[in-house]
Amino acid sequence: MPIEVNEQGWVLTTHRTAYAFGINQAGLLTHRYWGVRLPRLDDYPVAPSYAEKVSFYEPLTLTPEEYPPYGGARFVDPCLKVSFADGVRDVVLRFESFDVREGDVPELLIHLRDTFYPFRVTLHYRVHAAYDLVERLVTVQNDGDTPITLERIWSAQWHLPAHENYRLMHVTGRWYDEMYLRREPLVQGIKVLESRRLTTSHHHNPWFAVDDGSARESSGAVYFGLLAWSGNWKLSAEMTDFGSTRVNIGLNDWDFAWRLAPGDTFATPSSFAGYSDGGFGRASRSLHDFIRDTILPHRPVVHKVLYNSWEATEFAVDERSQIELARHAAKMGIELFVLDDGWFHGRNDDTAGLGDWWPDERKFPHGLGTLIAQVNALGMDFGLWVEPEMVNPNSDLYRTHPDWGIHFPTRARTTARNQLILNFGRTDVQEYIIAQLNRLLSENRIAFIKWDMNRNVSEPGWPDAPGDPRELWVRHVEGLYHVWSTLRERHPDVIWQSCSGGGGRADLAILRLADQVWVSDNTDAAARLAIQEGYSHIFPANTMEAWVTDVGRERLSLAFRFHVSMCGSLGVGGHLLHWTPEQRTEAAHWIALYKEIRHIIQFGDQYRLRSPQEHPFSAVQYVSKDRSEGVLFAFRTHMPPPAPVGPLYLRGLDPEAQYEIEGLDGIRSGLAWMHVGLQLVLKDFDSTVRRIWRR
């Protein structure tokens, strides 16, 4: 039973793990346990209780509450902060009742209520047993007749077992340089990671992994989790002075307020978290399986090899230039041709056009239909770029509706890349964009849409907002989800890509809408190795769109560039007209090979054998779920000679079965390949791909 109840409280059990909490002697909902699953219900500790021994050691501060509100003598970072209409800002929650909802994803609801005010808080726990994940979210309801202002409402506080020296792993970066893994000790105090940019951001991602400093890729205990949200978010990892460590995650409370009117409810986004006793590798494989099986809109669909013309033609697109590229692409085995920026009304550079989503009359005098028909006749699907949340001041849309942008009326509107952001919290904006894109999708045979977003917010105002203007932070993101999901419902076969100047919007919520992500605008394959590694800690390879471009071609062979991109969902973005016939033939070879092995990469288990962020000789391996085949990629960037490199130890093979590795002598047991390993020799900026077969 994934949800078990006894007099000590509740135990949520997954395949390998358990999460327990209960009501302590003071009546507080208190954390009891998170870790490996134990044989008996009585094995789980009781909810701890604390009596006052010293006035400065407040029981409320010592107690590991599941969802501490701001109130009383609590000095931990609280999950919930509200102002009642009379000015009281102190919440006192008491357990009222619970419900269990059976189903594919069993759910436990814990109902709490304020002791004085008509304010209800429900904690939702959903158990994703097969993936060793627990999902948490919170709903609140105003049962009174005066408004309540929400000032902070996080999704979860995740408690770690008592330990002195935890280490937090997270990703940092910036545009063109995303997803760097950072590991740092958690010491007394609070470590905050956040986005204030109205989107997930290139800089940090709402994901964490915490261990005691001893976990490795394939061993050790790791607590990990994330938030499914594409707007402002906050992670606060606190180690108290009493040795308790907790990770809070949820909507960012910075500049946030929500007016909860009488009768209204508010729901937070979900946070998912898990425990792995198989190191960071198992933690990410749990997330990969979960995302592929339950989150992605088109779950088992093989992602096509695409060509994107952005780096070749930039804004200078027209029917002729695109068809020339498409002919070469088709001959190389490309399956999907994507026309990027520059195709719509008035768009010759980045100063104009955003908002006017119809084909530019000069570049496409026959509309997009002729180009699409020719692309289809070449045997490829057609895809298109859009940036729906944006508007250029130089556009028909802005001239007609200047009030639709996010702005403060008394302040100049800061442009970035010459563009402003539409307020997707407004229903008129949502309806306009839905109508524009719906027409585009209805009138044209479009199989793929790349949804871009090329700036972050400024002057986050909403004149005439129906509620508190600071609701913008949430309402804009909910509006984005509404527009996107409405279009998805009307055009269910379209595959969508999430892009925000590269990897600025990669998160679990956007992956409910988009099947793949443009991970970075940096397409230098050597740099990409590191970016791809960071990405792989959170997201599966099938979501990782990776193009082979001309960037770095002076030092990186075409083979190297292909091998890097073949580690995800392969694409090509180089200027094919500038490639020699030999290069196009070589490209066709790699594309054909990719098609043979992509089911392993896109749907198999990923093992990071050696980190490119730590070592210039790196390797990654993918193994099919039935362990009958695999594929190994190894890369060497620059290593000063002499460069001793130890063997690579494969992972994930059936220890008893016999395997052959392409290009290596002998058939050996899976156990041998995993423990004796194999030695590969590569020169600087060299790479190899080796298939693995069970014999």
String marking each residue 654-683 x if it binds ligand DGJ according to CB under 6 A: ------------------------------
The answer to whether 66 contacts ligand DGJ (rule: CB under 6 A) is no
> Residue 555: how many CA atoms within 13 Å on its side-chain side?
11
User: Cβ 277 to ligand DGJ, closest distance in Å?
Assistant: 38
Amino acid at the residue 71: G
Task: Mark the segment that binds ligand DGJ (CB under 6 A) among 255-263, 494-502, 549-557, 644-652.
Answer: 494-502
Q: Dihedral, CA atoms, 35, 39, 40, 42, nearest 10 degrees?
A: -50
Is 521 one of the annotated active-site residues of the chain? Answer: yes
Task: Mark the segment that binds ligand DGJ (CB under 6 A) among 161-169, 405-413, 459-467, 498-506.
Answer: 498-506
Phi, psi of 218, rounded to the nearest 5 degrees: -120, 20
The answer to whether 576 contacts ligand DGJ (rule: CB under 6 A) is no
CA atoms of 385 and 340, how far apart (whole Å): 5
Q: State the first-to-last Cα distance of the chain, in angstroms, to the nearest integer.
A: 39
The answer to whether 279 contacts ligand DGJ (rule: CB under 6 A) is no
String marking each residue 214-253 x if it binds ligand DGJ according to CB under 6 A: ----------------------------------------
Return the closest-CA partner of residue 583 out of 294, 223, 332, 299: 332
Helical (H) or strand (E) element with 435? helix 427-443
Contact with ligand DGJ (CB under 6 A) among 68, 502, 612, 670: 502
Q: Cite the DSSP H helix spans in 538-669.
A: 558-566, 581-603
Contact (Cβ atoms closer than 8 angstroms) between residue 137 and residue 155: yes
CA atoms of 613 and 532, how far apart (whole Å): 10
Return the closest-CA partner of residue 409 out of 458, 461, 457: 461
Give the residue with the Cβ less far from ligand DGJ, 571 or 612.
Answer: 571
CA atoms of 152 and 150, how far apart (whole Å): 6
Give the residue with the Cβ less far from ligand DGJ, 381 or 452.
Answer: 452
Length of the chain: 695
Give the residue with the Cβ less far from ligand DGJ, 251 or 457.
Answer: 457
The answer to whether 177 contacts ligand DGJ (rule: CB under 6 A) is no
The answer to whether 452 contacts ligand DGJ (rule: CB under 6 A) is yes
Give the residue with the Cβ less far from ligand DGJ, 386 or 477.
Answer: 386
CA atoms of 544 and 497, how far apart (whole Å): 10
SS3 669: strand
User: Cβ 342 to ligand DGJ, closest distance in Å?
Assistant: 8
User: Cβ 191 to ligand DGJ, closest distance in Å?
Assistant: 30
The answer to whether 454 contacts ligand DGJ (rule: CB under 6 A) is yes
Number of residues counted as binding ligand DGJ (CB under 6 A): 11
The answer to whether 341 contacts ligand DGJ (rule: CB under 6 A) is yes
SS3 491: coil
Contact with ligand DGJ (CB under 6 A) among 9, 501, 552, 652: 501
| Residue from 381, 521, 605, 686 carrying the catalytic annotation | 521
Return the closest-CA partner of residue 284 out of 636, 564, 635, 543: 543
Q: Dihedral, CA atoms, 476, 479, 485, 487, nearest 10 degrees?
A: -110
Give the residue with the Cβ less far from ligand DGJ, 433 or 499.
Answer: 499
Contact with ligand DGJ (CB under 6 A) among 420, 499, 591, 600: 499
Bridge partners (DSSP) listed for residue 22: 30
Give the residue with the Cβ less far from ligand DGJ, 98 or 518.
Answer: 518
Contact (Cβ atoms closer than 8 angstroms) between residue 474 and residue 231: yes
Give the residue with the Cβ less far from ligand DGJ, 119 or 385.
Answer: 385
Amino acid at the residue 394: N
User: Cβ 561 to ligand DGJ, closest distance in Å?
Assistant: 17
Amino acid at the residue 300: P
The answer to whether 518 contacts ligand DGJ (rule: CB under 6 A) is yes
Tokens of 34: 């998170």
Give the residue with the Cβ less far from ligand DGJ, 254 or 358.
Answer: 358
| Residue from 381, 452, 524, 605 carrying the catalytic annotation | 452
Amino acid at the residue 352: A
The answer to whether 574 contacts ligand DGJ (rule: CB under 6 A) is no
Task: Mark the segment that binds ligand DGJ (CB under 6 A) among 20-28, 173-181, 257-265, 499-507.
Answer: 499-507
User: Cβ 292 to ligand DGJ, closest distance in Å?
Assistant: 24
66 Cβ contact list (under 8 Å, min separation 6)? 21, 29, 30, 31, 110, 123, 157, 159
Contact (Cβ atoms closer than 8 angstroms) between residue 343 and residue 292: no
Kindly report whether the peptide bond that precedes residue 466 is cis, defined as omega within 30 degrees of 0: no
Q: How many CB atoms lie within 10 A of CB 683?
A: 9
The answer to whether 340 contacts ligand DGJ (rule: CB under 6 A) is yes
User: Cβ 76 to ligand DGJ, closest distance in Å?
Assistant: 40
User: Cβ 385 to ligand DGJ, closest distance in Å?
Assistant: 5
User: 353-412: which residues touch ligand DGJ (CB under 6 A)?
Assistant: 385
User: Cβ 454 to ligand DGJ, closest distance in Å?
Assistant: 5
The answer to whether 281 contacts ligand DGJ (rule: CB under 6 A) is no
Contact with ligand DGJ (CB under 6 A) among 135, 521, 533, 686: 521
Give the residue with the Cβ less far from ligand DGJ, 178 or 521.
Answer: 521
Catalytic residues: 452, 521
Chain residues binding ligand DGJ by CB under 6 A are 310, 340-341, 385, 452, 454, 499, 501-502, 518, 521
